[in-house]
Amino acid sequence: MTKYPIILVHGMALRDTKFTRAFGKIESKLSESGYPVYTANTDAFGSVENNAEQLKNIILEILSEANQDKINIIAHSKGGLDSKYMISELGMSERIASLTTLCTPHKGSPVANKIWKLPMWLKKYLAFFINGFYRVIGDKNPDALKVCEELQTNDKKDIAFENDVYCQSYSTILRNKKDCFLMAIPMKVFTKAGESESDGLVSENSSKFGIYKGECLDESVSHTQIVDFFSKRKNRHKIFEFYIGLCKELEAAGY
């Protein structure tokens, strides 16, 4: 068991609902292995600032209930950006033991660039329907237009947290677009942009933050599959084992 509880922070478009789980069966597999794990059910299309505030409140509530002073964050995709903002801008560095980001677009994604080039009237039209749908399934403050703007590529340097928060990152690589039908179209954007290998939405280079640990799996795994969303049956066990192994490493390191 890890010294501190673990919270899984999801990315854009996913959240826990009556019919879906943001991390599939990963949370239950970690619980079965004896790890104290929670899922942060922040807005699926909330801005970084909005979700960081929600995440802060969720973590403080968990720490109070668990009678703990710190927590380990394992964040996927935009959840990593929400977590970084919360730690650096909302005074939470002393409450976070470690931050592990998976496929987080620390330097943005060319897919967001492509969408942002659409006419503003079309972007607002699409955002209107996206925001409306996600309000129905639980989002409090969805803002799809703002999220797209925030996820564009950038050359920002990694932030340094005030206190000693252990930071590490992982990526995945989708080696063949046929391995994940959801990422087939986004993969074309990367090919045209001449980007490095990617998971379909985030490049390997953009995923790097803190201590970069490389690929989660040696297999071809997409951005969504690593959180057990449309993951291939042959890879599911390996995905679960990756998360369990990650928690074992945190445990061994004293987190």
Q: What pTM did the predictor assign?
A: 0.95
193, 150 in Cβ contact below 8 A? no
Q: Which of 64, 76, 70 is nearest to 105 (CA)?
A: 76
∠ CA 31-33-34, rounded to 5°: 65
Report pLDDT for 232: 83
The single residue listed with the structure tokens 């951005």 is: 223
Report pLDDT for 195: 62
Instruction: Give the burial class of 174: count Cβ atoms within 10 A of its Cβ; 0-12 exposed, 13-18 middle, 19 or more buried.
Output: buried
Report pLDDT for 146: 97
Q: Provide the 10 A C-beta neighbour count for residue 237.
A: 11
Q: Domain 6-151+163-252, what fold? A: Rossmann fold (3.40.50)
Kindly write down the DSSP assignment for every residue of 215-243, as one continuous string: ES-SS---TTGGGTSS--HHHHHHHHHHH
- Written as six digits, the tokens of 169 are 């990152």
158, 88 in Cβ contact below 8 A? no
Domain segments of the chain: what residues? 6-151+163-252
- Written as six digits, the tokens of 86 are 């919360």
Report pLDDT for 196: 63
pLDDT in single tens digits along all 255 residues of the chain: 999 999 999 999 999 888 889 999 999 999 999 999 999 999 999 999 999 999 999 999 999 999 999 999 999 999 999 999 999 999 999 999 999 999 999 999 999 998 999 999 999 999 999 999 999 999 999 999 999 999 999 887 677 777 789 999 999 999 888 888 888 778 777 666 656 688 999 999 999 999 999 999 999 999 999 999 988 888 899 999 999 999 999 999 999
